[in-house]
A and B are shown apart, each in its own frame.
Chain A
Amino acid sequence: MNRYPAWKYALIVVVLLIAALYTLPNFFGEAPAVQVSSSKSTVKVDTTTLARVEQALKEANISADGITLEAGSIKARFGDVDTQGKAKDAIQKALTPDAADPAYVVALNLLSRSPAWLTSLNANPMYLGLDLRGGVHFMLQVDMQAALTKRAESLAGDIRLSLREKNIRHGGIARNGQAIEIRFRDSATLTSAKNLIQDQIPDLQMVEAPDGTDYKLTATIKPEAARRIQDQALKQNMVTLHNRINELGVAEPVIQQQGIDRIVVQLPGVQDTAKAKDILGRTATLEMRLVEDSAEARAAESGSGPVPFGSERFFERNGQAVIVKKQVILTGENLTDAQPGFDSQNQQPKVDLTVDAKGGRIMRDTSRENLKKRMAILLFEKGKGEVLTAPVIQGELGNRFQISGSMSVNEASDLALLLRAGSLAAPMDIIEERTIGPTLGAENITKGFHSVSWGFAVIVAFMATYYMLFGLFSGIALAVNLLLLVAVLSMLQATLTLPGMAAMALALGMAIDSNVLINERIREELRNGASPQAAIHAGYERAWATILDSNISTLIAGLALLAFGSGPVRGFAVVHCIGILTSMFSAVFFSRGLVNLWYGRQKKLKTVSIGTVWRPPSEGGLAKS
């Protein structure tokens, strides 16, 4: 009786070891660090940048505790704040010689000090929510109706163009909300138009209806296409936001989709909301212009002559100067899509561009007149322009054309992204905003920590006095529960918030319930005259059904909170639910393991240390402790 087989102890030891391992990173604290990320969408942080950073540090005689390159940014950790400051200056000097037009953002950051072997096991500290570390939180609502309307507008133009190409006469194309209405004189034209549209634009669904003496075709975007458009709009907005936020030099921004039409942006450590909002709302613009190829321009390109009248000098990413005409052919407004792909003839990477009907018309005229000349695509950010690419016009272009040439698959997808990300796909509104000062965050951590530790200490002290050795076991089980809870939260990389810390405290308070149930039950069995071993056995067995019932009903409440809660409620619910699960393990399985280890092997157990077992004197009054 009351013995665990060896495998159960092995299981306990393994679980405890894993838990300890994953809890460990939380104790190392944070080291000052310098983070390097790109400030322009055209500049990428990669291994060459890493080499430059290493070189810069070496030259400045600064040794870093570790330099890593991940997710497009370089992070270098240092021993103290002093070195961090020097390192930042050194890196900044090496990477951004032109302070007015920096290509990289060099920002101060805090990184976990946990050793590399822990990080390689994916053991990272819990992610602290903004209320614990300070920063700005925005929730942006994307105007999906605007995205759809914009799309319908460009589709109407496409239809107009296709009908004209095929010489189908119509009595007018109008956009009514998100529906496109086309009128025809006779039903034969309507049918041929319908077939054409169906063929060329599969995203539309059409309804025909007589309209007086005319025939009317109403085309609307198919629901699945609408979903796709909305999804793309959201993704594009997120990419654009990402590019813009990079400029703020925020160490670890969070840009997350929430629901179908919302984006949450969290900028830890940022206090200047005005600047943050300014940058979030800023627009980058894309322009297509012809390259000036006169002899003077060639000279200006190589730097041996002035820039000809009516043109400007811009640079490509590799620093090559390009002289382009001031006249703008098209802007990003007209660009509806850009996707990377492969040329079907020579299998080379390419980027497919789609422009709206107006853009298509301009492209056709421009390309016809400027065959075999170069056309530059410029991206303007922060008022500064840069040539993304300047391909040669190979043939007459329509509203769909491609850029191909010597580029890698990566370059093609980057270019497509840049072309798309230049501007927002749909307007956004800030519908929620929070700023938490850094001192408040630090205060919140201490307060949360104090409430957990004081409550914990008092409970353990009480349990040990009231239930003696069994109370001590319960106390150890409670500590194990805390360990498991922190380990699971760290493993899941759940965001810890102040309500989360409150849930931790509450979970501990409620976890002791299982042990109280068990201990009371054992006392009761003893009171009724059971032998100590039998009492322990029956106490655990009988309490189990109750523990299961009460924990499951609590878990139901927790899961409902998780399903419908948002923000702080969710943070609370995650910890609450995990706490219930870990408490079942620690309070029943683990604590019984301890009891079995202590008492289980004793055949002739006379007494157990579970505090007073009081019996009514009338029943013989053999009070035993």
Chain B
Amino acid sequence: MEFFKIRRDIPFMRHALIFNLISFVTFALAVFFLFSRGLHLSVEFTGGTLMEVNYTQAADVGKIRDTVAGLGLNDVQVQNFGTSRDVMIRLPAQKGVSTAQQSDTVLAALKTASPDVTLRRTEFVGPQVGEELAQDGLKALAMVVFGIMVYLAFRFEWKYAVAAIIANLHDVIIILGFFAFFQWEFSLAVLAAVLAVLGYSVNESVVIFDRIRENFRRYRKMNTEEIINNAITSTISRTIITHGSTQIMVLSMLLFGGPTLFYFALALTIGILFGIYSSVFVAAAIAMWLGIKREDLIKGPAKKDEDPNDPNAGATV
């Protein structure tokens, strides 16, 4: 089987400007939604109580909402979770009332309203924990960005590092934009997914950059644009197959992983879809605008930028 019968290099870079504009617009939209709507942060970040209850029959969410509201609790969210029989209730942190009391009162009230309710899970997080988690998340994000940039700058050149990181942040912001727009719940697991996407998406850029470097050494007559086009064309089959198989896994998670993994898988799905796009049209294009050229990578004796521990370091020359 062969999906990709490409005769000539596809002139990806000819349309780079248009695609960059499109990405800029999506990016700006994502940022806009992020600021205008904000993320729907989970209890883990905001502090508060979360209860998951199960009914033997389809639950009447409206009735549950009334029951809980009847307790005089403000800002309570009641929603279906997974199946129509599972209901998730979120209660904001209350001063002076212990959460155990809070969840006990709510459960007691629900039991009086309909006795077939069972508590499946409660979660309570104090506000100080949430704050710390958010800070740690930001630290992790900064560490990933910094680490990847240093590594790429060392392995390639700073222009590549900048291009790759812009492309990656583009993916991350777009995932966040989706979560802000649809008000999906942003939990710790989703944060993990976002950071994993950062690592994953840089993969893509690296594969293309590797090929660009190789092409610079091999085809001395081509100009930068042709070299990039050739690099993307010759790796496109791999890019699509790899993304396809990762997507299969994530899809499997989305379908079989149940509600707990749903948003995690969703974040990964968006990240993977935008990952292909961003490494081709964002990373490569930005690298082109930044003016990568043969001389950047081949300074003096060609082996300078190789890892000394890499036994096959010379293989690409």
- Which residues from chain A sit less than 8 Å from chain B, CB to CB? 131, 139, 141, 273-274, 277, 429-437, 439-440, 443-444, 447-448, 450-452, 454-456, 458-459, 462-463, 465-466, 498-499, 502-503, 505-506, 508-510, 512-513, 516-517, 520, 524, 538, 541-542, 544-546, 548-561, 563-569, 572-573, 576, 611-614, 616, 618
Contact = CB atoms under 8 A, between A and B. Distances in A.
Contact of B189 (A499, A512, A566): A499
B252 A502 contact: no
A444 B257 CA distance: 8
Contacts of A506: 196, 246, 249-250, 253, 268
B119 interface: yes
Interface in B95-126: 99-100, 104, 118-126
Given A431-B129, A436-B121, 17 more contacts: A431-B125, A437-B118, A451-B256, A451-B257, A506-B268, A516-B238, A517-B242, A520-B238, A548-B307, A548-B310, A557-B198, A557-B199, A563-B140, A565-B136, A572-B189, A572-B196, A611-B2
B245 A545 contact: no
B210 A554 contact: no
Contacts of A450: 252, 256-257
A450 B253 CA distance: 8
A509 B246 contact: yes
B188 interface: yes
Contacts of B281: none
Nearest to A435: B122
B316 interface: yes
Interface stretch (B65-73, B219-227, B259-267): B259-267
A435 B52 CA distance: 10
Q: Which of under 10, 10 to 19, 20 to 34, or 35 or more describes the interface residues of B?
A: 35 or more
Given A459-B248, A556-B144, A614-B2, A541 B203 contact: no
29 contacts: A131-B260, A433-B100, A433-B122, A434-B121, A434-B123, A450-B257, A451-B253, A455-B248, A458-B248, A458-B252, A462-B245, A462-B248, A466-B1, A499-B264, A505-B249, A506-B253, A516-B238, A516-B242, A544-B312, A545-B310, A552-B151, A553-B203, A554-B199, A557-B198, A557-B199, A563-B140, A568-B187, A569-B140, A576-B196
B256 A612 contact: no
B316 A545 contact: yes
A524 B210 CA distance: 16
Given A437-B120, A506-B250, A545-B210, A277 B100 contact: yes
A593 B195 CA distance: 33
B11 interface: no
A550 B136 contact: no
B273 interface: no
Nearest to A546: B210
Interface of B: 1-2, 4-5, 7, 44, 52, 99-100, 104, 118-126, 128-129, 132-133, 136-137, 139-141, 143-144, 147-148, 151-152, 155, 187-189, 191-192, 195-196, 198-200, 202-203, 206-207, 210-211, 214, 234-235, 237-238, 241-242, 244-253, 255-258, 260-261, 264-265, 268, 307, 310, 312-313, 315-316
Contact of A435 (B119, B198, B307, B316): B119
- Most chain A C-beta atoms within 10 Å of own C-beta, residue among B104, B214, B237, B238: B238
Contact of A553 (B1, B206, B307): B206
Q: Is the interface of A mostly helix, strand, loop or mixed?
A: helix
B129 A139 contact: yes
A377 to B, nearest CB: 34
B258 A444 contact: yes
Contacts of A557: 144, 147-148, 195-196, 198-200, 202
B289 to A, nearest CB: 22
A567 B188 contact: yes
Contacts of B104: 274
A541 B312 contact: yes
Contacts of A509: 245-250
A506 B242 CA distance: 12
A439 B137 CA distance: 31
Nearest to A468: B1
Contact of B191 (A432, A452, A569): A569
Given A509-B249, A576-B196, A560 B124 contact: no
Contacts of A447: 256-258, 260-261
A129 B67 CA distance: 33
B310 to A, nearest CB: 6
B136 A564 contact: yes
A502 B210 CA distance: 29
Nearest to B253: A451
Nearest to A518: B238
A342 B239 CA distance: 70
Contacts of B52: 440
Contacts of A546: 206-207, 210-211
Contacts of A459: 245, 248-249
B70 to A, nearest CB: 23
A553 B151 contact: yes
Contacts of B242: 512-513, 516-517
Contact of B206 (A508, A550, A566, A614): A550
Nearest to A259: B132
